[in-house]
């Protein structure tokens, strides 16, 4: 289902303005934290496809997230990386064999097929597939059933979800490798700002966040759009465009204050929010409180249920079994620990589990506040 802007405006009128354009100011702790579908319901369907995004909406997601990379003709499409051999059937297509190349992306050599070497029309002939088939064989059964989406199509899916469910369904795009794309004449910031403006999201109150691991791209985007921005943070390394800065420096009180000058919040690796090595279970590091003191929202990434992605204390089953890594561990305990920090939102590949635990945590926190 795809709606024009006029159709969406008419449908949206049936919902309250407060519901369609929620205020998520950092000081407003009365509202529940948001459930962010990481590339859709990507634990159950091939990531960044209509299948994954529509399932995520049905499962209760508040936001659906696309990673954005450009085509050779400058269209933003939803792919985890610009190298697409792991997420499409491009490697099996003889007509594109000569496009295989090795490039340096953010200082590292990468070999494969790249979106910037294809027109949108060419990419639309490909089909998507599960990126982690050994860990997610059930999702891999949907290989070959969905094409690559443009960012506009992701927005249209969110709009249709608003109409279908009567809930706010926001979008949460990530600008991937902006320094690299600027270096080859395909900068992301203005393209993204134009789409946001065209679709009526150019407001700090709109149901959209723009995220990036690079500082300069967020600052440039901030001069082009009023949409809210999130600075992504990892456990190691630092922003590619700031070689003298480490993420560890950015989570100090001074670092958080500096981020507040160009972003509305942070998107930390969940290992910065929780001490994942703590026994018998992960514990709060205090980052959420520190970020709130700096008037920043906190949206952590990425909660997954497979043992391969969980700390040892939350893994379940016999480690000697061949399928141990893909078996489900205690994601409920991980999500509950994240929400009990007072966090503002959580990225997960499993929106239904995320939404269910969020609701449980909100009820538990309410009881604690009542004494």
Per-residue pLDDT at 6 exceeds 60: no
Query: Is 340 inside a domain boundary?
Result: yes
pLDDT band at 369 (very low <50, low <70, confident <90, very high): confident
Per-residue pLDDT at 2 exceeds 70: no
Query: Is 321 inside a domain boundary?
Result: yes
In this prediction, residue 99 carries a pLDDT of 98
Buried b (16+ CB within 10 A) or exposed e, 301-330: bbbbbbbebbbebbbeeeeeeeebbbbbbb
Rounded to an integer, the average pLDDT of 294-321 is 97
Query: Is 259 inside a domain boundary?
Result: yes
pLDDT (tens digit per residue) in 37-53: 999 999 999 999 999 99
In this prediction, residue 370 carries a pLDDT of 81
Stated pTM of the model: 0.92
Query: Is 239 inside a domain boundary?
Result: yes
- Number of domains, the chain: 1
In this prediction, residue 201 carries a pLDDT of 97
Bridge partner residues of 328 (DSSP): 306
DSSP state for residue 33 in the 8-state scheme = P
Cα radius of gyration rounded to whole Å, the chain: 20
pLDDT band at 359 (very low <50, low <70, confident <90, very high): very high
In this prediction, residue 368 carries a pLDDT of 86
Residue 33 contacts residue 145 (beta carbons within 8 Å): no
Q: Helix, strand, coil: what percent of the chain each, to 5?
A: 40, 20, 45
pLDDT (tens digit per residue) in 166-178: 999 999 999 999 9
Query: Is 243 inside a domain boundary?
Result: yes
pLDDT (tens digit per residue) in 97-120: 999 999 999 999 999 999 999 999
| Integer Cα distance of 176 and 232 in angstroms | 11
342 by Cβ neighbours in 10 Å (0-12 / 13-18 / 19+) ranks as middle
Query: How high does pLDDT run on average in the chain?
Result: 92
What is the extent of the structural domain holding 264?
A: 5-78+148-370
Per-residue pLDDT at 10 exceeds 60: no
Q: 3-state SS string over 200-243? A: CCCCCCCCEEEEECCHHHHHHHHCCCCCEEEEEECCCCCCCCCC
Query: Is 282 inside a domain boundary?
Result: yes
In this prediction, residue 64 carries a pLDDT of 98
Query: Is 102 inside a domain boundary?
Result: no
Beta strands in the chain (DSSP E): 34-37, 63-64, 67-70, 76-78, 101-105, 108-112, 170-171, 174-175, 209-212, 228-233, 265-268, 274-275, 283-284, 297-303, 345-348
Query: Is 138 inside a domain boundary?
Result: no
pLDDT (tens digit per residue) in 157-213: 999 999 999 999 999 999 999 999 999 999 999 999 999 999 999 999 999 999 999
Per-residue pLDDT at 8 exceeds 50: no
Q: What is the CATH number of the domain that holds 227?
A: 3.20.20.190
Q: CA torsion angle for 75, 77, 83, 88 (degrees, to 10)?
A: -120
Per-residue pLDDT at 13 exceeds 70: no
């Amino acid at each position: 289902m795809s709606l024009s802007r006029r159709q969406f405006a008419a449908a949206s009128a049936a919902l309250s303005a407060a519901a369609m354009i929620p205020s998520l100011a950092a000081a407003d702790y009365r509202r529940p934290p948001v459930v962010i579908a990481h590339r859709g319901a990507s634990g159950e369907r091939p990531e960044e496809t209509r299948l994954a995004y529509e399932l995520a909406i049905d499962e209760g997601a508040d936001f659906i997230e696309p990673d954005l990379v450009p085509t050779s003709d400058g269209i933003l499409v939803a792919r985890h990386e610009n190298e697409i051999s792991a997420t499409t059937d491009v490697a099996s297509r003889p007509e594109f064999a000569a496009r295989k190349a090795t490039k340096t992306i953010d200082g590292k050599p990468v070999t494969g097929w790249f979106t910037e070497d294809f027109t949108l029309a060419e990419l639309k002939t490909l089909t998507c597939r599960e990126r982690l088939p050994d860990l997610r064989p059930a999702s891999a059964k949907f290989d070959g059933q969905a094409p690559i989406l443009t960012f506009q199509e992701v927005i249209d899916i969110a709009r249709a979800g608003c109409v279908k469910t009567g809930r706010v369904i926001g979008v949460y795009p990530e600008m991937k490798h902006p320094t690299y794309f600027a270096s080859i004449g395909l900068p992301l910031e203005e393209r993204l700002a134009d789409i946001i403006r065209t679709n009526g999201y150019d407001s700090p109150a709109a149901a959209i966040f723009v995220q990036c691991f690079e500082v300069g791209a967020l600052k440039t985007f901030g001069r082009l759009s009023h949409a809210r921005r999130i600075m992504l943070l990892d456990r190691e390394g630092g922003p590619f465009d700031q070689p003298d800065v480490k993420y560890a420096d950015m989570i100090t009180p001074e670092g958080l204050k500096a981020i507040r000058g160009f972003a509305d919040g942070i998107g930390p690796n969940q290992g910065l929010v929780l001490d994942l090595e703590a026994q018998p279970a992960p514990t709060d590091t205090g980052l959420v409180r520190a970020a709130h003191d700096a008037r920043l929202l906190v949206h952590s990434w990425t909660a997954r249920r497979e043992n391969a992605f969980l700390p040892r204390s939350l893994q379940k089953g016999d480690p000697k079994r061949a399928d141990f890594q893909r078996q489900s561990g205690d994601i409920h305990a991980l999500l509950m620990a994240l929400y009990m920090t007072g966090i503002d939102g959580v990225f997960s590949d499993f929106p239904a589990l995320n939404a269910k635990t969020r609701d449980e945590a909100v009820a538990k926190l309410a009881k604690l506040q009542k004494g």
